[in-house]
Chains A and B, each alone.
Chain A
């Protein structure tokens, strides 16, 4: 009865490096959502994916950020050339369909030095 899994739980990167965040949805779920949360702020939607498709990326920064959800394996949020402002908690959520309840993973805390 595994829930949504994310790894790593903590990630430290230096400016200019790449960060890869992974998310395995709950069993039976094929819809994945990525959110970013800055300290003392709310959840900010980034991207919504189904298997092999990006459905809505309206919350993604235009540069350096990309996401995928391949047919096999976890969803990946990739941040290239990280900057200090990318430091945040990144949460993944999954659902069984677009309108169903979203269940969250434990998050990845990214720290950019």
Chain B
């Protein structure tokens, strides 16, 4: 199993709908989780961090963490064309104390 796994996509979502991005990780002891957005040709920018089980909301974004099932997700409500980007999941691996990035999911919002 890869350390941090994401579906590469592309994930196509109609404008105004909810986009759901998923990420699974291998290290059960991981404690810190991050979602980054990367536009083509640009650097990753942090959207949210989450550390506790449950939901964390910030504007149109909601991060969901389930440590027992070892997955973290990002929901984007009222999707906009400007949300079209690659979304990277990052996990601070407990066993070697290192942040590992997934390969990212390409999201395409259809106008």
Contact = CB atoms under 8 A, between A and B. Distances in A.
Interface of A: 33, 35, 41-43, 45, 48, 56, 91, 98-99, 101-107
Contacts, number: 41
A64 B12 CA distance: 41
A91 B92 contact: no
B25 interface: no
8 contacts: A33-B99, A41-B103, A45-B99, A99-B92, A102-B34, A104-B43, A104-B44, A106-B43
Nearest to B106: A40
A101 B98 CA distance: 12
A102 B98 CA distance: 11
Interface residues on B, range: 20 to 34
Contacts of A98: 97
B46 interface: yes
Contacts of A103: 46
B12 to A, nearest CB: 18
Contacts of A91: 43-44
B25 to A, nearest CB: 14
B20 interface: no
A61 B44 CA distance: 23
A105 B32 CA distance: 21
Nearest to B86: A42
Nearest to B34: A101
A45 B96 CA distance: 13
B88 interface: yes
B100 A45 contact: yes
A39 to B, nearest CB: 10
